[in-house]
Amino acid sequence: MAEQQAVPVTEGPPAGDLGRRLAARRAELGLSLHETAARAGMAPSYLAHLERHPGAAPGRGTLLGLAGVLQTTVSALTGGDADRPPGPGRAGHAPEFTELTRTECGDLLATHGVGRLAVPTAQAPVIVPVNYSVVDGTIVFRTARGAAPSLAVGCPVAFEVDRIDDTFSEGWSVLVRGHARMVTDLGEAHRLAGRAHSTPWAGGRRDVWVRIHPYAVTGRRISRRAETDVPTG
């Protein structure tokens, strides 16, 4: 019997909701397309097809296999939990609660993304999500004049980011407390535009740069306690 030759797979941009979620979760875990396919017991070309073709409709068995490899759920891969807040599951067995070091907090913050900004107002504090980046050890984001995030300027604020893994009932959170200031120097604003990773998802004209200078950074993590061998008599 002739030796079977591997089919070359050219990775391209993911398409469709499932494809984007598969590729994003792979990237989050640091897995290549070939590694993921091998662990799921499928051809890399088929996984590439799932990621690049919006009309791909894999069976539930395939989705279950991919969810297991990617340490997530079928609902998360297919977008079934998109409108649900994270954390509806039960607490894990024997969880461990630990304080994060300042370095660990900085590493988690530096991944950038979406954080929650708490700002004071005349009526009551307001919490709003913002797309942020970390530049020179400070939190930076863009907003519009008069928008809720712009109320942070000149005030002490709190900024929080977190990650919840519903599958394993694990997660972490980092809290930054600091002073928010508007970036008024045009050269500095231009430099931030070149270094920032995240752009506002809300779109529109958002040309006000705000920088949070931290004076306190703390974090916590909830994880599953490592299983140990129980001695027998």
| pLDDT tens series, the chain, 233 aa | 344 344 444 555 555 688 888 998 898 889 999 999 999 999 999 999 998 888 888 888 898 899 888 888 887 788 765 555 555 555 556 678 799 999 999 999 887 788 999 988 888 888 999 989 998 889 999 898 888 899 899 999 999 998 877 666 778 899 999 999 998 888 888 888 877 776 666 666 778 899 999 999 999 998 776 554 444 44
C-alpha span between 216 and 156 (Å, rounded) = 11
- Quote the pTM value: 0.61
Question: Which residues, including other chains, have CB under 8 Å from residue 214's CB and lie 6 or more apart?
Answer: 137, 138, 139, 176, 177, 178
Which conformational region is residue 78 in: left (phi greater than 0), alpha (psi within -120 to 50 degrees), or beta? alpha
Q: Which domains does the chain have, with CATH numbers?
A: 16-78 (1.10.260.40), 95-224 (2.30.110.10)
Residue 117: the pLDDT is 95
Cβ(209)–Cβ(144) under 8 Å?
A: no
* Of 92, 111, 99, 70, nearest in space to 223 by CA: 92
Residue 193: the pLDDT is 80
Element holding 59 (H helix, E strand): none
